[in-house]
Structure 1
Amino acid sequence: MPKIKVGIIGCGSIAKHRHIPEYAMNKNVEIIAFCDIVHERAQAFADEHNAMAYTDYKDLIQNADIEAVSVCAPNSFHAPISIAALEAGKHVLCEKPMATSREEAEAMIAVAKRNGKKLMIAHNQRFVSSHVKARNIIERGDLGKIYSFRTAFGHGGPEKWSADGENSWFFDKERAFIGAMGDLGVHKTDLLRYLIGEEFVEAAAFVETSAKQNSTVDDNAVCILKSESGIIGTLAASWAYNGGEDNSTVFYAENGMMRLEDDPDYSLIIHYKNGSSERHSLGAIQSNDEGKQTNTHVIEHFIACILEDSEPLVNGEEGKKSLAVIFAALESNKKKQIVRI
């Protein structure tokens, strides 16, 4: 079987730690091109993988041999680059947040449909083993009716992760669009929607810029969300969790409570109200910490969808719905009122 020829646009940390190694380990893929505005970055990866190096994504997507691209550029470029690549006949795996507006997201979805190409958004939390098992448990009804939840995604900030450190584009509103809410919060809105199988209908939020100096984006946020059946809970997204990372989710339900990624030894724990418990050790969740990089299964799924001509689990529509919750939270903070989604 011929290999899918891939180009990677943006050669910063997310490409270095996630996309490139996961494509490289996939037997159905050949990486043939890299693009970055810093030529040395693209050239270094091109040399390592015997590929071509570009500094302009428009040149890369004109390469007729490339069948699929990963868009790993700063947030504000996600939509324009994805749209151009889809128009050029490439399948697209786009990093989150997929766009800076609802209109951009809809344009991405429309062009993918018009050109018959796959559009997948790189929300990796749906593929985490504990989360896959949790969805099955919830669907099966073991917990009974879900009443509430709390979820958090926070760490010390992207300066420890980004290729540019404290000078990273993550802190620049023009390029990043939003901060911790777009970097981390949108992962959790996507996860919650996936786990409860419902859409959120209302949001209230406090979104602050308080922890990072010389930053023009949010770095600390807490949201209250309500689903269509009345499930309520909190979502926290932060670049101010200094001293450790929190990537946990807890559900409170009719028959007990379920803790996900909230214990160092067991990634899924259920405490039933009858006194019994379940503990499952299902492997570590993806982390930004050095030495803790694991397979996110995102690239694996994206390539399988191309080969099998199937729809990605996190397609453009799913990405748009998860992003809509973030937009509502930002609007709530601005207007100081509860916002309908």
Structure 2
Amino acid sequence: MKKLKIGVIGCGSIARQRHLPEYAAHSQAEITSVCDIVLERSREVAEQYGAVPFTRYEDLLASDVDAVSVCTPNYLHAPVTLAALNAGKHVLCEKPMATTKDDALSMMEAAEKNGKKLMIAHNQRFVRSHVKAKQLLEKGEIGRIYSFRTTFGHAGPENWSIDGGDSWFFHKHEASFGALGDLGVHKADLIRFLLGEEVVEVAAFVETLAKSHATVDDNAVCILKTESGIVGSLAASWSYVSEEDNTTMIYGEKAILRLEDDPNHALVVQYHNGEVVKYALGNIQSNAADGQTQSHVVDAFVRCIVNDTPPPVSGREGLRALHIILAALESNEKKRVIRLDYSS
């Protein structure tokens, strides 16, 4: 079978740790071109993967690639994705998919108009513990869900970004969001995925506490309410100075699901009758040097192109997660609960 020709736009840490090695390992994909505004980075990655280097994404899109990964700073997600879709390329875009609702909608419209796949790289949906928890929830084993608690925090992007302490992550004009958009958006998508319903109300406190040089937030705590009345908390932080916390708890009438809370068991189910079931499902993906695991995002993206099926994390799904983050920021600014409007 003919391999998909892949271009990767942006040669920073997320491309090097996730997209590039996963495409390289895929039997149906071939990295043919890479792009970064820093010529040395583009050349280095191109040499590693046997690709053609570019410094302008427009030039890469003029080549014969079939699909691209957009691994740029947040403010470029929309313009690069729009250019790629309009050039007839399928797109896997890093999260958050855009910095505004209007940009996200434009991306979705371009994908539909051009008949191309648009997938957003929300990798938490593919974590084995999360997939198993989703199955248990859908089977009704947990009964009615009352509440949840989900957290994603680490010491900050300076510890793994290719630019270190001067990373674009800290600059509002390039990132738009801080920890909330970097980490919180993952958990916003995960809660929607696990519970199978929309978040309709958001209240939040969003602060910059640990990164004095940042012009974006580094800590956020949100209270979310879903359409059926489930209430829970979402926390995102760049100030967890020891171990990363990437845990989620689901509290139901029959059991509690503890996801990524036990170092040896990715999912622990504590039933109301005292029974405890532990699942050893492998580690969640991590930015730690010794924690590299497949995110399965590239697998899903390639599969939807080859099989001509809908992307498992569509533009619509990416927009719904973005809605929650934007509502949290609005809540913090206006100091009130925000009701989400999904009419757009």
Aligned-partner residue type, residue 155 of structure 1? H
Equivalent residue runs for 1:250-329 within 5 Å: 250-329=249-328
The whole-number CA distance in structure 2 between the counterparts of 1:257 and 1:298 is 28
Name the residue aligned to 2:29.
29
1:87 aligns with 86
Pairwise CA distance, 1:50: 1.8
Deviation at 1:62, TM superposition (A): 1.0
Q: Percent identity?
A: 59
Hey, what's the Cα distance between the residues in 2 that align with 1:165 and 1:86?
A: 31
CA distance in 2, matches of 1:256, 1:114: 45
Q: Considering only aligned residues, what root-mean-square deviation do their CA atoms show, in Å?
A: 0.5
Task: Classify the secondary structure of the residue corresponding to 1:257.
Answer: strand
Output the amino acid matched with 2:282. G
1:53 aligns with 2:75: no
The separation in 1 between residues aligned to 2:212 and 2:36, in whole angstroms, is 27
CA distance in 2, matches of 1:186, 1:58: 28
Letter in 1 for 2:164: G
Secondary structure of residue in 2 paired with 1:144: coil
- 1:168 Cα shift? 0.4
What are the superposed Cα offsets for residues 277-335 of structure 1, whole Å, 9 maximum, x if unpaired?
11001000001111101000000000000000000110100000011001100000000
The one-character-per-residue Cα deviations of 1:69-94 (angstroms, maximum 9, x if unpaired) are 00000000000000000000000000
SS in 2 for 1:76: helix
What is the one-letter code of the residue matched to 2:108?
A: I
Aligned twin of 1:2: 2
Letter in 1 for 2:213: N
Find the residue that maps to 2:204 and give its secondary structure. strand
CA deviations 1:85-107 (Å, max 9, x no partner) are 00000000000000010000000
Secondary structure of the corresponding residue to residue 251 of structure 1: strand
Is the aligned partner of 1:209 residue 2:213?
A: no
2:72 is matched with which residue?
Answer: 73
Aligned length: 340
Name structure 1 gaps, 5 residues minimum: none
- The CA deviation at 1:213 is 2.0
Partner Cα distance (1:268, 1:88) in 2? 43
What SS does the corresponding residue of 1:331 show, helix, strand or coil?
helix
Give TM-score, length-normalised by structure 2. Answer: 0.98
Alignment of 1:93-242 (within 5 A): 93-242=92-241
Aligned AA (2:8):
I
The Cα of 1:51 is off from its aligned counterpart by: 1.2
Counterpart residue type for residue 115 of structure 2: G
Counterpart-to-counterpart distance in 1, 2:312 and 2:90: 15
Provide the C-alpha distance between the structure 2 equivalents of 1:209 and 1:50, rounded to a whole number of angstroms. Answer: 42
SS of 2:34's equivalent in the other structure is strand
- Looking at structure 2, the residues matched to 25 and 320 of structure 1 have their Cα atoms a distance apart, in angstroms, of 29
Q: Distance in 1 between matches of 2:99 and 2:262?
A: 34
Residue type of the alignment partner of 2:173: E
4+ aligned runs moved over 3 Å, structure 1 = none
Determine helix, strand or coil for the equivalent of 2:200.
strand
- Measured in 1, the distance between the counterparts of 2:197 and 2:124 equals 17
> What displacement does 1:47 show?
1.2
- The gaps in structure 2 that reach 5 residues or longer are none
Shift of the alpha carbon at 1:237? 0.2
User: What's the offset of the Cα at 1:45?
Assistant: 1.0
* Structure 2 letter corresponding to 1:292: G
One-letter identity of the residue aligned with 2:150: T
In 2, Cα distance between equivalents of 1:321 and 1:256: 28
AA in 1 matched with 2:141: D
Taking structure 1 as the reference length, the TM-score comes to: 0.99
Q: Secondary structure at the match of 1:133?
A: helix
